[in-house]
A and B are shown apart, each in its own frame.
Chain A
Amino acid sequence: AIQLTQSPSSLSASVGDRVTITCRASQGISSALAWYQQKPGKAPKLLIYDASSLESGVPSRFSGSGSGTDFTLTISSLQPEDFATYYCQQFNSYVTFGQGTKLEIK
């Protein structure tokens, strides 16, 4: 099974900061990667699909990049509503999620 490792597991940042979260796959997955945001008590929300495509309605401060085994999610200027947990997901071979990155207010 393909494993996804996110780093860091947690992150403290301030409003206005630029933040990058990394997701590494245990084997190549082409661009079959998505990023989700989850807030406490809520369902996950799709942000990025196919590694770098922005889901409709998602603010342009979110961006994704990478292919093969190494991927990043970048938030260009953190807003108060962005503090949440972020998950990467691969769908190249069945489905796997990363362990999550909790983004907290500094």
Chain B
Amino acid sequence: QVQLVESGGGVVQPGGSLRLSCAASGFTFSSYGMHWVRQAPGKGLEWVAFIRYDGSNKYYADSVKGRFTISRDNSKNTLYLQMNSLRAEDTAVYYCAKDSIVGANGVHAFDIWGQGTMVTVSS
């Protein structure tokens, strides 16, 4: 079945780095844009980043621009989020999500979500 599985979360000190992965299965990964979305404990959803199906376009939320990098390896059906210069306010569950429109240049609704991976930034 269609599935997204995140990994790579954990506890990291402020200023540290972490790389999240999202393994996709059950659909043609290389045909869909992908997103990262986060949710701080007890808070709402915050979009983090988007990458086009072919990796040619990337968009970021202002809160992570210059610190986080989204990438993908279509040969491995895997999405990544490299997080540098982490801050306490980056503490959250991080979800990867699939864009709903095949081969699209822009962004659309997110029809498949992973279960999330927790990132805690604390000394």
Q: Which B residues fall within an 8 A CB radius of A? A: 35, 37, 44-47, 50, 59, 61-62, 95, 100, 106-111, 113-116
Contacts and interface: CB of A to CB of B under 8 A. Distances in A.
A94 B59 contact: yes
Nearest to B49: A95
A100 B110 contact: no
Contacts of A91: 106-109
Contact of A97 (B46, B108, B116): B46
B44 A49 contact: no
A43 B59 contact: no
B109 A46 contact: yes
A97 B45 contact: yes
Given A49-B108, A49-B109, A44 B45 contact: yes
Say what secondary structure dominates the interface of chain A: loop
Contacts of B106: 91
A87 B37 CA distance: 13
Interface of A: 1, 32, 34, 36, 38, 42-46, 49-50, 55, 87, 89, 91, 94-100
Given A38-B45, A55-B109, 8 more contacts: A36-B45, A44-B110, A44-B113, A89-B47, A94-B61, A95-B35, A95-B107, A100-B45
A1 B61 CA distance: 10
B47 to A, nearest CB: 4
Interface centre among A1, A38, A95, A98 (most CB of B within 10 A): A95
Nearest to B107: A91
